[in-house]
A and B are shown apart, each in its own frame.
Chain A
Amino acid sequence: MTTFAQKQSPATRTTPDAARRAPAQKPRRRPKDRLAKVVIILLLLTGAAFAAFPILWMASSSFKPNTEIFAYPPQLITSNFSFDAYITILTDPTKVRFFINSYVVSLAVTALTLLVAILASYAFSRYEFKGKRPINMIIVSIQAVPPITLLIPFFGLMVVLGLYNTYQGLILTYLVFTLPYAIIMMTGYFNTLPKELDEAARMDGAGPLTVLWRILVPISIPGIVSVGVYTFMIAWNEYLFALTLTRTEDMRTVPIGIQLLMGQNSYEWNEMMAMSILGCIPVLILFLFFQRYFIGGMTAGAVKS
């Protein structure tokens, strides 16, 4: 930062306190620091209210009777606290089916994505071949193709292939959106592993598949979990194609199910909120258990390893 050095007067540069403080050393608490700390905590709390209040409100509303949803004044914890909305959802076979559908589709997409992406990433990470850069670039740009552009031909294609309103149709569709990201991330992970590992195994006569399966995959579990968690979430949350490529109630996924609740004669707000809470539980659990991997997935796109 040469621009600084030139701008600063020599007097300020020799502040003994600043000059002596080692980077790792804990900064000494000064009154100014204490004030700054109070301001930071206040800002953090304001931000937390902004982020969390709507979610608290959702949870709170899911425990209210529907007549109390818009009670005046609003109450965060109702005196008529009950699990009725949850019981209504979980005992209705149509609604339970939404959850089953979402699990089947999301788990299948995750498994398939991981399988295909691991194979492709192995090629990208460990081989030099003709067309490597162009193929890689196509995969990066495919991420940007707008879903709405693909929606109309997919609709036509699925009808022609007889996959309209089936699990297979949804699973194949989601692969297009999960694969590019999964390959980019998995390749990044493989690149961090030393090539000497597989070369040593090859010296012993192992073929490429053996090297991949017995050497690379076992030590790549953190990367695979990251990709898997993120893939599951994309599939679990998808809305546009689930809406368009399924027709009957028994094929609908959770996001569409929530919307269907909204369309019924009256708004059962407490049930919608209960279904929303149930609908985000898988992602929340994944997040709590795999927070580190999750964040790895979020940052993979923009931060270069």
Chain B
Amino acid sequence: MASTHTVVRPGSTKRSTSGWAPTARKLTPYAFLSPTVIVMLVLMLIPVIMVIGYSFMDNVITNKNPVFVGIDNYVEVLSDPVFRTATGNTLFFTLVSVAAHLLLGLGFAMLLNSPLVGNVTKALFRVVYILPWLFTVAIIAVLWRLMLNPNGVINYVLISLGLTDKGIEWLSSPDTALLAVTFINIWAGYSFYMVTLLAGLQGVPADLYEAARVDGASAFQRFWNVTLPQLKPIIISMSVLDIIWTSQQFALIWMTTGGGPVNVTEMLSTYTYKLAFSRYEFSVASASAVLILLLTMVLAFFYVRHQKARD
């Protein structure tokens, strides 16, 4: 770096940059950014262009000389009833998960923020509540397959309580599989909200509560009129992020139900994966992948706009 050896002229003020060769100074930030830009160009921009290209070809990767087929692949995906089922399932899975994450996360965060509980107790419970978040999805999947097994411990508890006569096949019955994977995902993901909302709660100025208390506001009124408005920006960013992440969930579904039975837990991600790596229809899969990208970009647009508004 040439500028390293430039000597600062004596007498230059603290904020002055006159000692730096102007062009070197201008190029420095780009030099620092270049590794990032190269990685992102090669591993993000090019693949995205590739997948869009694939989606307009007849079968790529397996076919040496693919030809342009226009929007045929998109027509095929959009007219596939399984694609529509997968969209519906993804919507249900995502919305229920995100709502439950938010409610559980907020509930636990409020409990942990209560002035009535000692600090050591809080710290202990906080660690316990974060635990599910520390496990990788592969582990969560096998763990819940064990717990939800027809002979597993969950069914044992339900039978003991008289709620059911015999073990329920939670993950392999078409009636319960979608609910079961959604439940697993709720268990796995609320911690993120809890930790973030706890940080948010601790950032609410104490005098706001004090003022509300002086005004005689009830606990619920304080929550509704002080806590919620203060947390609103955090809640919005987290929910949008969570919608993006949850709608892309692959590993959990793949390792618990594989999208079955009879497509009741098929998600957009598992549907696309199967098209590509089970049926080797890489072009059709690419069309589906581009559609998922478009959906996500709409969400990302709202996220970026929201973040900018907070700046």
Contact = CB atoms under 8 A, between A and B. Distances in A.
Given A52-B128, A280-B139, A152 B286 contact: yes
Interface of B: 1, 3-8, 12, 14-15, 19, 26, 28-30, 32-33, 35-37, 39-40, 43-44, 46-48, 50-51, 54, 60-61, 107-108, 111-112, 114-117, 121, 125, 127-139, 141-147, 149, 151-153, 156, 187, 191-192, 195-196, 199-200, 203, 206-217, 221, 225-226, 233-234, 237-238, 241, 244, 248, 250-251, 254-255, 268-269, 272-273, 276-277, 282, 285-286, 289-290, 292-293, 296-297, 299-301, 303-304, 307, 310
Contact of B51 (A48, A153, A176): A153
Contact of B4 (A40, A41, A61, A207): A207
A302 interface: yes
Contacts of A135: 33, 37
Contacts of B207: 23
Contacts of B43: 154, 172-173, 175-176
The 8 closest A-B pairs by CB, nearest first: A207-B4, A12-B216, A255-B138, A144-B300, A237-B136, A153-B47, A127-B29, A153-B50
B136 A236 contact: yes
A254 B136 CA distance: 10
A95 B149 CA distance: 25
Nearest to B277: A244
Nearest to B122: A44
Given A13-B214, A301-B237, A148 B111 contact: no
A211 B139 CA distance: 43
A47 B39 contact: no
Given A58-B143, A199-B15, A47 B299 contact: no
Given A27-B115, A123-B32, A144-B296, A279 B47 contact: no
Contacts of A137: 304
Given A47-B111, A69-B146, A256 B217 contact: no
Given A23-B206, A145-B48, A18 B213 contact: yes
Interface string A15-57: 1001101011001000001001100110110011011101101
A221 interface: no
B289 A152 contact: yes
B293 A116 contact: no
Nearest to A199: B14
A112 B183 CA distance: 36
A148 to B, nearest CB: 5
A73 B156 contact: yes
Contact of A207 (B6, B107, B255): B6
Contacts of A122: 32
B35 A303 contact: no
Contacts of B156: 72-74
A273 interface: yes
A113 to B, nearest CB: 10
**What is the interface of chain B mostly: helix, strand, loop, or mixed?**
helix
A146 B296 contact: yes
A205 B19 CA distance: 9
A302 B51 contact: no
A279 B139 contact: yes
B214 A18 contact: yes
B304 A40 contact: no
For chain A, the bracket of interface size reads 35 or more
Nearest to B206: A23
Nearest to A115: B35
Contact of B128 (A8, A36, A48, A152): A48
A208 B144 contact: no
A240 B251 contact: yes
A144 B200 contact: no
A121 B102 CA distance: 31
Contacts of A87: none
Nearest to B244: A144
Given A150-B48, A258-B142, A303-B196, A33 B116 contact: yes
Contacts of A298: 133, 192, 195-196
Contact of A44 (B3, B111, B310): B111
Given A57-B153, A240-B251, A152 B285 contact: yes
Interface string A224-258: 00000000000011011000100000000011101
A170 interface: no
